[in-house]
Amino acid sequence: MVIERRWKKWVYFYIPLTLFVIGTLFPFYWMFVTAIRPDAELYRSWRAATNTPFWTLQPTLDHFRDLLEKTTFPQWLWNTFFIACVSTVISLFCGLLAGYALARLKFPMAGMLGTSIFVTYLVPPTLLFIPLADIIRSFQLGNTPWALILTYPTFLIPFSTWLLMGYFKTIPKELEECARIDGATRFGAMIRIIFPIAVPGILSAGIFAFTLSWNEFIYALVFLSSPEKKTVPVGVVSELIRGDIYFWGQLMAGALLGSIPVALVYSFFVEYYVTGLTGSVKG
């Protein structure tokens, strides 16, 4: 065992870790403090004698109340949730089948197909939204949730296909062969053996897909126009900044509420999520 000097542990471990944690969590803290700060404190001068930028002595829930009662924020939450769930389910379904096929079946051009799926993922959405907008208009889907539900899979499917393909490859193929000898068809072995073992991989693909669609901005901004149809990321910035007036309290309250579902999803599945990204299965 190596005995290290205590100061070394501080210099190389505790201090950098503390800085990192502060750097990561401070924006959230700022968001929280701003959300509960009364307007009087928010809009006074920085040089005011009573200014306390890092905390507040009169916490209030006014901004949350205004947000939930005076804006369509609850509707945005529901929109975002609905769109994220449906597009995640679609993408997972396609990703599972495609990932399995690419990992296990031998067919001509399989390797090239895998690579080209990945390349699709690399096309930036900032370019892709232009042709997509045309398609959305032709199908008259503009300003409906389906505009997003059908466009999000364009980047979610390649992503989950790749993640799941990698995961399937770590599962020994003997498991499946054994199931096929034991009496299952190829499809049966996939459903009964491979998918249950791949649950960590499927969950992390699902979490990723859900988060990506929850936070997505460009497509939501372009394809939706009426305030009551918007998603949280777009609604908060487009409806709570009027002209050049920033409703800081409501903005931050909206951002806070918008990030809670994602944080919940992550904290519930964090263990699966880690094994999904790193892990394989030992028979």
Q: How many CA atoms lie within 13 A of 176 on its CB side?
A: 22
**Other C-beta atoms lying within 10 Å of the C-beta of residue 166:** 16
- Give the nearer residue to another protein in terms of CB position, either 122 or 181: 181
**110 sits near another protein (criterion: CB under 8 A):** no
**281 sits near another protein (criterion: CB under 8 A):** yes
One of 108, 111, 196, 243 touching another protein (CB under 8 A): 196
User: Tokens at residue 234, please?
Assistant: 């777009």
Q: How many CA atoms lie within 13 A of 26 on its CB side?
A: 8
Helices (H), 152-229: 153-170, 173-182, 186-189, 195-197, 199-215, 218-223
Q: What is the distance between the alpha carbons of residues 194 and 97, in angstroms, rounded to a whole number?
A: 12
Closest listed residue to residue 76, CA positions, set 145, 169, 173: 145
* Contact window for another protein (CB under 8 A) among 44-52, 185-193, 216-224, 269-277: 185-193
- Does residue 164 contact residue 202 with C-beta atoms inside 8 Å? yes
- Give the nearer residue to another protein in terms of CB position, either 172 or 261: 172
Q: How far is the CB of 178 from another protein (least distance, A)?
A: 4
Q: How far is the CB of 100 from another protein (least distance, A)?
A: 17
**187 sits near another protein (criterion: CB under 8 A):** no
- Does residue 158 contact residue 117 with C-beta atoms inside 8 Å? yes
CA angle 159, 139, 236 (to 5 degrees): 60
* Contact window for another protein (CB under 8 A) among 34-42, 121-129, 177-185, 209-217: 177-185
- Does residue 55 contact residue 33 with C-beta atoms inside 8 Å? yes
**Other C-beta atoms lying within 10 Å of the C-beta of residue 19:** 10
- How many helices and strands, by DSSP H and E, does the chain display? 16, 2
Q: How far is the CB of 282 from another protein (least distance, A)?
A: 7
Q: How far is the CB of 202 from another protein (least distance, A)?
A: 13
Q: How far is the CB of 280 from another protein (least distance, A)?
A: 10
- Give the nearer residue to another protein in terms of CB position, either 215 or 280: 280
Q: How far is the CB of 276 from another protein (least distance, A)?
A: 15
Cβ-proximal residues to 76 (8 Å cutoff; 6+ apart), any chain: 230, 231, 232, 235, 236
One of 181, 243, 244, 267 touching another protein (CB under 8 A): 181
* Contact window for another protein (CB under 8 A) among 23-31, 148-156, 170-178, 226-234: 170-178
**197 sits near another protein (criterion: CB under 8 A):** yes
* Contact window for another protein (CB under 8 A) among 18-26, 89-97, 116-124, 169-177: 169-177
Residue 163 amino acid letter:
L
Q: How far is the CB of 278 from another protein (least distance, A)?
A: 16
One of 6, 183, 243, 267 touching another protein (CB under 8 A): 183
**103 sits near another protein (criterion: CB under 8 A):** no
**175 sits near another protein (criterion: CB under 8 A):** yes
User: Tokens at residue 35, please?
Assistant: 């959300």
Range list of β-strands (E), the chain: 241-242, 245-246
- Give the nearer residue to another protein in terms of CB position, either 121 or 192: 192
Return residues touching another protein (CB under 8 A). 172, 174-175, 177-185, 188, 193, 196-197, 281-283
